[in-house]
Amino acid sequence: MPSPGAFACNNTPEPAVNKAIAPALLQAAEATGSLGMDAYWMPFTANRQFKRAPRLLVRAEGMHYWDVDGRQILDGVAGLWCVNAGHGRPRIVKAIQDQAAEMDFAPPFQMGHPKAFELAERLAALAPAGMNKVFFANSGSEAVETALKMALAYHRARGEGTRTRLIGRERGYHGVNFGGISVGGIVTNRKAFGPLLGGVDHIRHTHDLARNAYTVGQPAQGADLADDLERLVALHDASTIAAVIVEPVAGSTGVLIPPQGYLQRLREICDRHGILLIFDEVITGFGRTGKPFGAQTFGVTPDLMTLAKGLTNGCVPMAAVLAQQKIHDAFMTGSESLIEFFHGYTYSAHPLACAAGIATLDTYAEEGLLTRAAAMADYFAQGVHSLKGEPNVIDIRNIGLVAGVELTPIEGAPTKRAFGVFLDCWQQGLMLRSTGDILALSPPLIVERSHIDQMVETLRGAIRRAA
Ligand SMILES: Cc1ncc(COP(=O)(O)O)c(C=O)c1O
């Protein structure tokens, strides 16, 4: 198994330079009147490597991107796990255009606008029962910080201000801000940034190749790993612990599906000790696992839930924290003229994002997309699991319309094999993601069987060539 440090998006090895793509950059440069690529410091990217052999996308529609050379690329990852309704959806595009023309911005502090309230009501209606309060942010990272702060302030408001400890999980990804990297469990995202938040601890991850390799759906073994929280309770005492944050399915470290009963057990332990449970549903939200939210797929309701990505179909940055009524109500004490939660962003509930969010929810509802992953799951599972036996494949896992294919790392060069497969697929017209030595697939929820066939066969060819 690769070390946790291998799950960086930015420690990828040097690939062979893709000479075919270099002329495309020149064309793009001519088109934009700029010849330089120096100024843009790219996020989670090997900048120097990328700029030698760029991959430039210029158009998107439905299941596809097109690059600067006019090549059609099948989108196997919904952009970055976010374009769940597929690209260029006219209703969403029009809603954004109309909103920009009607009202570009409205301050969210001590002011409001109707679409913010409408979107919040719509989200509450979709969420698990009781999760009926919605706080808006602009990115998954911001939603995570918001949820962590809410958890701390909730306990303090109830007179349990000793509950300041936050618990994350190894191999968790919760964005890149200080709270998120502190509770996150990815070495490369943490090690350069000093002591991080104090008072944070981690439970063990659930990835267990020895017991669960090639499981279709939820692994049978591993509910007991939730008991690791009891270990931390015994170590720190429950009276010091505010919240536990986990992704229902850990996406960024390679699609780790929760073992059967694991999330239930985590819920029970939290309840027993008065600890809040936060689900980071930035990836699992909006239909990825077969129901609107992972909480519903797995039948466990958290106290707080973070959402982003699919909330606006990736069109306008937006995120949200959904909170149980009891969390919200704990803040609503004292004088009504006092601000209850000293937190918010200039662009919380931005009008363009709200318009995009409402149009996105309409699109999901009209086309039944939030449950479509359940209908496509068997076909998708058969396709990806047919890769068993291909060279260097050591695990395949899936749920709904998300899958991970794990490869044996090249000795002394972790991540290199999967990154090579990613590049090969790109050259063959398929965009997927590599993380560590795992290839992740999470296509838009409009995916058809023919696209699944294409994804699987392209991946198969690339895996064979990487042997
Ligand atoms: C589970 C989870 N939380 C948080 C984030 C961070 O979201 P953002 O990149 O919008 O800040 C991500 C991003 O992939 C994520 O997968």
How many other CB atoms sit within 10 Å of the CB of residue 53?
A: 16
Q: Which residues line ligand 1 (CB under 6 A)?
A: 139-141, 144, 173-175, 247, 251-252, 280, 282-283, 308
Of the candidates 100, 141, 76, the one whose C-alpha atom is nearest the C-alpha of residue 308 is: 141
pLDDT of amino acid 26: 59
Cα of 461 from ligand 1 centre, angstroms = 30
Cα of 141 from ligand 1 centre, angstroms = 6
- Which domains can be identified in the chain, with CATH numbers? 4-88+370-465 (3.90.1150.10), 90-368 (3.40.640.10)
DSSP 42-71: -TTS-HHHHHHS---EEEEEBTEEEETT--
Cα of 95 from ligand 1 centre, angstroms = 25
Which residues are CB-neighbours of 406 under 8 A, at least 6 positions away? 209, 254, 393, 394, 395, 396, 397, 437, 438
Cα of 174 from ligand 1 centre, angstroms = 6
Atom of ligand 1 nearest to the CA of 283: 16
For the stretch 91-109, pLDDT in tens is 999 999 999 999 999 999 9
Measured between alpha carbons, how far is 241 from 167 in angstroms, rounded to an integer?
A: 8
For the stretch 232-267, pLDDT in tens is 999 999 999 999 999 999 999 999 999 999 999 999
**pTM of the predicted protein model:** 0.94
pLDDT of amino acid 15: 38
Atom of ligand 1 nearest to the CA of 141: 11
Measured between alpha carbons, how far is 66 from 84 in angstroms, rounded to an integer?
A: 18
Averaged pLDDT, 176-182: 98
Which residues are CB-neighbours of 405 under 8 A, at least 6 positions away? 384, 387, 393, 395, 396, 438, 439, 441, 459, 463
pLDDT of amino acid 418: 98
Q: Do residues 24 and 56 make contact, with C-beta atoms less than 8 angstroms apart? A: yes
Cα of 176 from ligand 1 centre, angstroms = 8
If one compares 134 and 27, the residue with the highest pLDDT of the two is 134
- Under the banding of pLDDT at 50, 70 and 90, the label for residue 85 is very high
Of the candidates 232, 235, 239, the one whose C-alpha atom is nearest the C-alpha of residue 160 is: 239
DSSP 311-369: GGTTSS--EEEEE-HHHHHHH--S-TTS-S-----TTTT-HHHHHHHHHHHHHHHHHTG
Cα of 20 from ligand 1 centre, angstroms = 32
Measured between alpha carbons, how far is 176 from 174 in angstroms, rounded to an integer?
A: 7
Measured between alpha carbons, how far is 329 from 253 in angstroms, rounded to an integer?
A: 35
For the stretch 419-463, pLDDT in tens is 999 999 999 999 999 999 999 999 999 999 999 999 999 999 999
Q: Do residues 341 and 136 make contact, with C-beta atoms less than 8 angstroms apart? A: no
**Secondary structure letter of residue 413 according to DSSP:** B
Q: Do residues 436 and 254 make contact, with C-beta atoms less than 8 angstroms apart? A: yes
pLDDT over threshold 80, residue 338: yes
Measured between alpha carbons, how far is 233 from 269 in angstroms, rounded to an integer?
A: 9
Averaged pLDDT, 367-374: 98
pLDDT of amino acid 393: 98
Edge-to-edge, what's the strand order for the sheet holding 433-435?
393-399, 402-407, 438-441, 433-435
Q: Do residues 219 and 209 make contact, with C-beta atoms less than 8 angstroms apart? A: no
Q: Do residues 444 and 85 make contact, with C-beta atoms less than 8 angstroms apart? A: yes
pLDDT over threshold 90, residue 31: no
Q: Where are the alpha helices (DSSP H) in 165-259?
A: 178-183, 187-190, 209-212, 228-236
Which residues are CB-neighbours of 5 under 8 A, at least 6 positions away? 11, 186, 187, 188, 191
Q: Whose CA is nearest to atom 3 of ligand 1?
A: 174
Atom of ligand 1 nearest to the CA of 139: 10
Q: Do residues 343 and 108 make contact, with C-beta atoms less than 8 angstroms apart? A: no
User: Above pLDDT 90, what percent of the chain?
Assistant: 92
- Under the banding of pLDDT at 50, 70 and 90, the label for residue 36 is confident
- Mean pLDDT value across the chain: 94
How many other CB atoms sit within 10 Å of the CB of residue 168?
A: 28
Q: How far is CA 6 from CA 2, 150, 205, 423, in A?
A: 6, 32, 15, 18
If one compares 276 and 27, the residue with the highest pLDDT of the two is 276
pLDDT of amino acid 9: 38
Measured between alpha carbons, how far is 136 from 358 in angstroms, rounded to an integer?
A: 14
End-to-end CA distance of the chain: 18
Averaged pLDDT, 6-13: 40
Q: Where are the alpha helices (DSSP H) in 103-207?
A: 114-126, 140-157, 178-183, 187-190
Edge-to-edge, what's the strand order for the sheet holding 276-280?
133-137, 319-323, 304-307, 276-280, 241-246, 165-169, 200-203
**In Å, how far from its chain's centre is CA 380?**
20
Furthest-apart CA atoms within the chain: distance in Å: 67
Six token digits for residue 293: 């939210």
The beta-carbon contacts of 409-416 under 8 Å, at least 24 apart in sequence, are 409/2, 409/6, 409/436, 409/437, 413/13, 414/2, 414/3, 414/6, 415/2, 415/6, 415/8, 415/11, 415/12, 415/13, 416/12, 416/13
Backbone angles phi, psi at 216, to 5 degrees: -90, 120
pLDDT of amino acid 440: 98
Q: Which of 81, 186, 252 to mutate to test the pocket of ligand 1 (most atoms within 8 A of CB)?
A: 252
Of the candidates 31, 34, 54, 33, the one whose C-alpha atom is nearest the C-alpha of residue 42 is: 54
